[in-house]
Amino acid sequence: MNHNIETQNKKKADLNYIKWMKSILRRSEEVGKLELPITAIILDKKGRCIGRGSNKRETKNDPLGHAELIALRQAAWLKNDWRFNECSIIVNLEPCTMCAAALIQARMGQVIYGADDNKRGGFGGTIDLSKHKSAHHKMNVIRGILDDECEKKIKIWFKKLRNQK
Ligand SMILES: [Zn+2]
């Protein structure tokens, strides 16, 4: 019985993440005109969006202008708290090592992402910081939400960039 409820809740949660990922991918189309098309959103424990960020590295000449960090700042401002144990972040690409470390510092409860990043990823793509001894809290990491679609969009973007050069 309990197991059934758990399975049902998990299914509901997965569908919800897919819905958010679709909205992230739509938003990334717009972002992709100027930046690497990455968007991140942060949900509170009730599943409400409390932060959103897209890459701003080029437009602001900011090496820290990653989608996840921008979303974190906005959500922390709204929450009036830097702790995110009850929250989830959803992003279309595996967070880089800088963002993964920031999410650990923020004690993010859950990290959900689409495509793996085998060049810069901080949750297993290169190193898994969520399992590193510097991570002092329990973090739930869910990979591969709409991963094919996420990966395809980023590949197309890089291909376009190469063609422009
Ligand atoms: Zn990053």
Strand locations in 21-107 (E): 39-43, 49-54, 88-93
If we measure between CA atoms, which residue out of 60, 139, 79 comes closest to residue 103?
Answer: 139
CB atoms within 10 A of CB 75: 26
Measured in Å, residue 37 CA sits from the centre of ligand 1 at 12
Distance from residue 47's CA to the centre of ligand 1 (Å): 23
Phi, psi of 137 (to 5 degrees): -125, 165
Chain segment 48-84, per-residue pLDDT in tens: 999 999 999 999 999 999 999 999 999 999 999 999 9
DSSP-derived secondary structure letter, 10: H
Cα 58 to averaged position of ligand 1 atoms, centre (Å): 14
The predicted-structure confidence for 112-149, as pLDDT tens digits, reads as follows 999 999 999 999 999 999 999 888 788 999 999 999 99
